[in-house]
Amino acid sequence: MTDRAPSWNGWEPAARPPLPAAARRELTRLFGSWPAPTPPVPLADVTLPGSALPDGARREFVAALGEEHVTTDRTERIRHAAGRAYLDLVRLRSGDAGGAPDAVLRPADAEQIADVLRICVGRRVAVVPYGGGTSVVGALAADRGDQRAAVALDLSRLDRLVALDRVAQTATLSAGMRGPEVEAALGGLGFTLGHFPQSYRYATFGGWVATRSAGQASTGYGRIDELVHRVRCVTPTGELDLGRGPASAAGPRLIDLVVGSEGALGVITEATVTVRPVPAARRYEGWSLPGLGAGLEAFRALAQRLGPGLAPDVCRLSDPDETRTTFLLGGTAARLARGYLAVRGHGAGCLAILGWEGEPHLVRYRRRAAARLLESYGGVPLGGTPGASWRHGRFGAPNLRDTLLDHGLLVETLETAADWSALPALYRAVRETLRAELGRVLVMTHVSHLYRTGASLYVTVLGVRDRADPVGQWTRAKRAVTTTIQSYGGTVTHHHAVGVDHRSALADEIGERGVALLRAAKAELDPTGIMNPGTLVP
Ligand SMILES: Cc1cc2nc3c(=O)[nH]c(=O)nc-3n(C[C@H](O)[C@H](O)[C@H](O)COP(=O)(O)OP(=O)(O)OC[C@H]3O[C@@H](n4cnc5c(N)ncnc54)[C@H](O)[C@@H]3O)c2cc1C
């Protein structure tokens, strides 16, 4: 069996880059001293309760899937015990694999999944659909609810391009394909999905659909929920096959009940999505804006005055703290650029990364339109090097997170989206809340994913980990910052999904009737409550 999950206690095995000396100096200055290293507990010493899978259930799973696709192997269970949130990693690193399933199953297709769900209903076994294991909202730890055991349903064998319609420019893809597999299959036929979340290397197509994921180029290509036309989902009470044609007025868009359902209603087996021809030209470049206020106004203009189709496909604006840190990590060229920008009055400026993809003449035209707008807000072009360097390193940042965790730091991200009118105050309030809760912290924020009416905010927090109670430390801060986000008009999540971490805040966001509707859908599709208990549904 191949295990394609990220390394059990981090991102990639053995990929922990040394921290640049400048970053270490800066963090020491911020935190007063440099925390001593805290290496993770070795895999052999991780605590794992025995498997509670009833023998009868195991025999039935083996009959349905074959012996080699049903395992209670210790390492397999540990590797499926959690996602990649800070708290997941803190627990795993301390040797706690309490969220491990009792077994890992690898079905090959929708029929086998239907068999597994039937067995699980009969034997009272909870099912956690497992894509790439990159959830950052606690959605993968096995919660047995009132079931007798729990299994992880690893979807890695659902790994094929089912169909490509070159005329309509749609592709039907199996749920278990990881990002590089999706792009390799489509790219070989001249197409791209254009969906590149930072977790692209590990996350799966089905996971994207199940969490309403947004990629780094989603301003141009669209979020996954904007790209899905049709979805097939096996539930404990039967299969849903939803979505016809490019658009429909046949009642409410039920497809949206499945997109974002986080494994709590059923297992997404495949979906049909819009694809585009592989771009003939790409241009990525850096710009500097004189401050966050000017940057936000310039980005709003990109979204509202250029709009979809004309605005850059990638639009990313770092606040002054993230900009400073980016330059700090960027070496000599970056330091020289920073000196030049200070002379131009951008000493506390904001770095923007913009990217255009498509036909060469359109890329040129759109780039000129954006450049004119940015210049009118005081923007200074920095050329292609920052764009190329961002593109080169864009999936590697989690490796640095592992290094920082090894050094005893708290490192976590959070995200939201709000209307343009609410963003500046929300931005300030989030920073103040994190400072009030955590004391000395480095809070770095960027704006990405532009919409006509607003944008997302993505926040990275670095602090000193409370060694006695790291879970309590972050849980309290997260609760406070979630309250702040909601009180300033932000959504509880723009693309990380609900999972367990945002479940109670979801109730505030959708209200009592909304919760009742979700519960009714769950009662209809999963009446015995085997599907990912504890996730999504408040
Ligand atoms: C370092 C890092 C960077 C990230 N960057 C981004 C980003 O840029 N954009 C973004 O949107 N997210 C990002 N994420 C979050 C995460 O990658 C996404 O939520 C992703 O869509 C999850 O996909 P997955 O295949 O790993 O799903 P998993 O983590 O395996 O599962 C996530 C949830 O979906 C359910 N699920 C998975 N597959 C199915 C299925 N086929 N049917 C039904 N339910 C299913 C699971 O039960 C679980 O509830 C990041 C995470 C990390 C760790």
If you search the block for the tokens 């994207």, which residue do you land on? 208
Length of the chain equals 538
pTM across the whole model: 0.97
Per-residue pLDDT, 4: 67
458: annotated active-site residue? yes
Annotated catalytic residue, options 221, 284, 427, 458 = 458
Give residue 313 CA to ligand 1 midpoint distance, Å: 22
Alpha-carbon distance of 527 to 507, in angstroms, equals 21
- Name residue 66's beta-bridge partners: none
Residue ID of nearest Cα to ligand 1 atom 11: 213
pLDDT band at 345 (very low <50, low <70, confident <90, very high): confident
Are the beta carbons of 426 and 383 closer than 8 angstroms?
no
Residue ID of nearest Cα to ligand 1 atom 23: 207
3-class state of residue 355 by DSSP: strand
- Characterize 442-458 residue by residue with b for buried, 16 or more Cβ atoms within 10 angstroms of its Cβ, and e for exposed: bbbbbbbbbbeebbbbb
Give residue 395 CA to ligand 1 midpoint distance, Å: 15
Alpha-carbon distance of 352 to 270, in angstroms, equals 36
Alpha-carbon distance of 337 to 334, in angstroms, equals 5
Give residue 153 CA to ligand 1 midpoint distance, Å: 14
Residue ID of nearest Cα to ligand 1 atom 14: 199
For 266, the token pair is 């059923």
The structural architecture, per CATH, of the domain 397-487 is: 2-Layer Sandwich (3.30)
- Which atom belonging to ligand 1 lies closest to the Cα atom of 216? 8
Give residue 210 CA to ligand 1 midpoint distance, Å: 7
If you search the block for the tokens 């330091």, which residue do you land on? 335
**Annotated binding-site residue numbers:** 129-135, 262-268, 401
pLDDT band at 1 (very low <50, low <70, confident <90, very high): very low
Average pLDDT estimate for 213-219: 96
Fold: same for 48-154 and 281-393: no
CATH superfamily of this structure's domain 281-393: FAD-linked oxidase, cap domain/gating helix (3.40.462.40)
Give residue 345 CA to ligand 1 midpoint distance, Å: 41
Task: Pick one of 3.30.465.10, 3.40.47.10, 3.40.50.620, 3.40.1000.10 as the CATH number of 161-277.
Answer: 3.30.465.10
Torsion of CA 522, 526, 530, 534, to 10 degrees: 0
Give residue 207 CA to ligand 1 midpoint distance, Å: 5
**Annotated binding-site residue numbers for FAD:** 129-135, 262-268
Question: Each residue of 189-214: pLDDT tens digit?
Answer: 999 999 999 999 999 999 999 999 99
Measured from CB, residues less than 6 Å from any atom of ligand 1 are 83-84, 128-136, 139-140, 155, 175, 197-199, 203-204, 206-208, 210-211, 213-214, 262-263, 267-268, 398, 495-497, 532, 535
Per-residue pLDDT, 108: 98
Instruction: Return the closest-CA partner of residue 346 out of 392, 295, 277, 409.
Output: 295
Query: Pairing relation of β-strands 441-450 and 454-464?
Result: antiparallel
Number of Cβ within 10 Å of residue 230's Cβ equals 16
* Mean per-residue pLDDT of the chain: 94
330: enclosing H helix or E strand: none
Residue ID of nearest Cα to ligand 1 atom 34: 262
pLDDT above 90 for 339: no
- Out of 90, 135, 494, mutate this one to test ligand 1's pocket (max ligand atoms within 8 Å of CB): namely 135
- Out of 211, 232, 415, 457, mutate this one to test ligand 1's pocket (max ligand atoms within 8 Å of CB): namely 211
- The domain segmentation of the chain, as residue ranges, is 48-154, 161-277, 281-393, 397-487
Question: Each residue of 430-464: pLDDT tens digit?
Answer: 999 999 999 999 999 999 999 999 999 999 999 99
Are the beta carbons of 231 and 255 closer than 8 angstroms?
yes
Alpha-carbon distance of 336 to 292, in angstroms, equals 22
Instruction: Report the CATH number of the 48-154 domain.
Output: 3.30.43.10
- Which atom belonging to ligand 1 lies closest to the Cα atom of 499? 49
The better pLDDT of the pair 320, 39 is held by 320
